[in-house]
């Protein structure tokens, strides 16, 4: 089969080649990949700053895929040939609390990903792709949408009328705006781009703050919330900004620590954390059960993924470059 192989770190070392088509073993599905979508994780893996010691070489990258089952291994009964499925990043985390070693079973690293004509997905970790979505649309769901959903619903327990702050206008954040709005929350967004802030308002956001114009953006959040702070903050920026996130969140409020765009470590000021009694929870996407619940909600509320651009398989490197430049919504690669 045709596959993109990451032979060493750096986009120059990502090459389109040929490799053997895998055989589905007992319980496994062979999926003809229709489309994949890129996440910051995929770029960080290619660039060598996402757990580089765990990256096999060569690796078929990209975790998030959608496609059609073309063969099944012995004993498969959840899916049949012809069904459309999604990959689910934490392939062994099906429900409840995560086990201690979930990252060892993630697609796109260390398991082979979807940037190839075919991929293997165990029937237990596959999720039925929404009938009303194309493969391109469905491919955007496994990380970006599901992380936003888990942060807002399973962790955040967001109720109508509550306030949510979402950082930036990348993949996770745009889904968070759409989902939180559908849940009845008042969503505020920070962005480096006034044009993107206008665009997220069309998706339901009630206020936008340019974090370049207002580097002390947490003060603007307090002004917008009568000095109180938001009920839930989705932190995708990470780094030192976590201290600002704590100040922007209400007393006894919640922060979902999702990302590390500005840094993988921080110097945390403990006194604001203690006095504000903030809960900060690390988020690592979600179990498969949450994916099924999210798909029902997306269908009920007619939420469609925002796609910035779709690339051909041969142009995968251009797609990675697009993600690095910044995208409004998801960058997708059509594989079929
Ligand atoms: N833990 C998990 O389960 C999980 C799941 C998904 C993603 N993540 C992580 O979350 C982060 C975002 O992922 P993604 O895939 O959504 O990324 P993405 O699509 O590449 O989005 C990046 C966007 O983040 C915004 N941004 C950059 N620096 C910022 C800052 N200092 N403050 C506020 N916004 C900033 C920018 O928005 P503007 O252009 O509007 O400024 C940029 O477009 C990454 O670190 C990723 O690894 C974690």
May I ask the CATH architecture of the domain 145-282?
3-Layer(aba) Sandwich (3.40)
Task: Report pLDDT for 13.
Answer: 98
Look at the alpha carbons of 130, 135, 138, 142 in this order and tell me if their dihedral is positive or negative: positive
Dist CA 144 CA 212 (whole Å): 24
Q: Tens digit of pLDDT for each residue in 162-210?
A: 999 999 999 999 999 999 999 999 999 999 999 999 999 999 999 999 9
Is residue 209 within 6 Å of ligand 1 at its C-beta? Answer: no
272-306 pLDDT, tens digit per residue, is: 999 999 999 999 999 999 999 999 999 999 999 99
Measured by CA distance, the residue closest to atom 44 of ligand 1 is: 259
Q: Are 6 and 58 in contact (CB under 8 A)?
A: yes
pLDDT value at residue 135 = 98
Mutating to test ligand 1, I would choose from 259, 282, 328 the residue with most ligand atoms within 8 A of its C-beta, which is 259
Fold classification of 2-140+306-334 (topology level): Quinone Oxidoreductase; Chain A, domain 1 (3.90.180)
State if residue 196 touches ligand 1 by the CB under 6 angstroms criterion: yes
Residue partners of 305: CB distance under 8 A and separation at least 6: 133, 137, 140, 141, 145, 175, 329, 330
Measure the CA–CA gap between 146 and 176, rounded to whole angstroms: 9
Domain regions of the chain by residue span: 2-140+306-334, 145-282
Predicted structure pTM score: 0.98
255 lines ligand 1 (CB under 6 A): no
33 within ligand 1 shell (Cβ under 6 A): no
Distance 169 CA to ligand 1 centre (A): 7
Task: Tell me: cis bond preceding 58? Omega within 30 of 0 counts.
Answer: yes
Token couple for 97: 């609390």
Ligand 1 centroid vs 187 CA: distance in angstroms?
Answer: 17
Residue to substitute in 212, 261, 265, 329 for testing ligand 1 pocket (most ligand atoms within 8 angstroms of CB) = 261
Phi, psi dihedral angles at 191 (to 5 degrees):
-160, 160
- What's the CA-to-centroid distance between 330 and ligand 1, angstroms? 12
Phi and psi at residue 330, in whole multiples of 5°? Answer: -95, 145
- Does any ligand 1 atom lie closer than 6 A to the CB of residue 261? yes
- Please state, for a pLDDT cut of 90, what percent of the chain lies above it: 100
Q: Give the position, in ligand 1's atom list, of the atom nearest the Cα of 241.
A: 31
CA distance 211 to 295: 32
Please give the structure tokens belonging to residue 34. 């229709």
Burial class (CB in 10 A: 0-12, 13-18, 19+), 202: exposed
**Ligand 1 atom with the shortest distance to the CA of 190:** 33
Q: How far apart are the first and last CA of the chain?
A: 12
Token digits of residue 63: 């975790």
Closest approach atom of ligand 1 to CA 323: 20
In terms of Cα–Cα distance, which of 107, 104, 143, 146 is closest to 29? Answer: 107
At residue 81, the pLDDT reads 98
């Amino acid at each position: 089969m045709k596959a993109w192989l990451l032979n060493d770190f750096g986009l120059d070392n990502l090459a389109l080649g040929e490799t053997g088509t895998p055989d589905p073993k007992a319980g496994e599905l062979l999926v003809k990949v229709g489309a994949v979508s890129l996440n910051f994780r995929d770029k960080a893996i290619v660039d060598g700053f996402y757990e580089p010691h765990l990256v096999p070489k060569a690796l078929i990258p990209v975790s998030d895929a959608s496609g059609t089952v073309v063969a099944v291994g012995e004993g498969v009964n959840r899916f049949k040939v012809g069904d459309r499925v999604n990959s689910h990043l934490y392939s062994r985390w099906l429900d409840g609390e995560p086990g201690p070693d979930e990252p060892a079973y993630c697609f796109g690293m260390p398991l082979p990903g979807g940037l190839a004509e075919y991929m293997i997905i165990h029937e237990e970790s596959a999720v039925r792709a929404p009938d009303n979505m194309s493969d391109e649309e469905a491919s955007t769901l496994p990380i970006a949408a599901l992380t936003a959903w888990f942060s807002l619903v399973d962790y955040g327990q967001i109720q109508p009328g509550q306030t949510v702050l979402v950082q930036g206008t990348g993949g996770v954040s745009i889904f968070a705006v759409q989902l939180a709005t559908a849940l009845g929350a008042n969503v505020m967004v920070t962005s480096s781009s006034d044009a993107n802030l206008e665009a997220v308002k069309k998706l339901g956001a009630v206020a936008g703050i340019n974090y370049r114009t207002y580097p002390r953006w947490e003060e603007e959040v307090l002004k917008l919330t009568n000095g109180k702070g938001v009920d839930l903050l989705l932190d995708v920026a990470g780094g030192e900004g976590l201290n600002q996130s704590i100040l922007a969140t209400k007393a006894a409020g919640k922060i979902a620590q999702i990302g590390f765009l500005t840094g993988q470590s921080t110097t945390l000021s403990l006194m604001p954390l203690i006095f504000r009694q903030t809960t900060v929870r690390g988020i690592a996407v979600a179990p498969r059960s949450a994916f099924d619940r999210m798909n029902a909600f997306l269908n009920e509320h007619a939420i469609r993924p925002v796609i910035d651009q779709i690339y051909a398989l041969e142009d995968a490197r251009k797609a990675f470059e697009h993600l690095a430049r910044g995208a409004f919504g998801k960058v997708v690669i059509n594989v079929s």
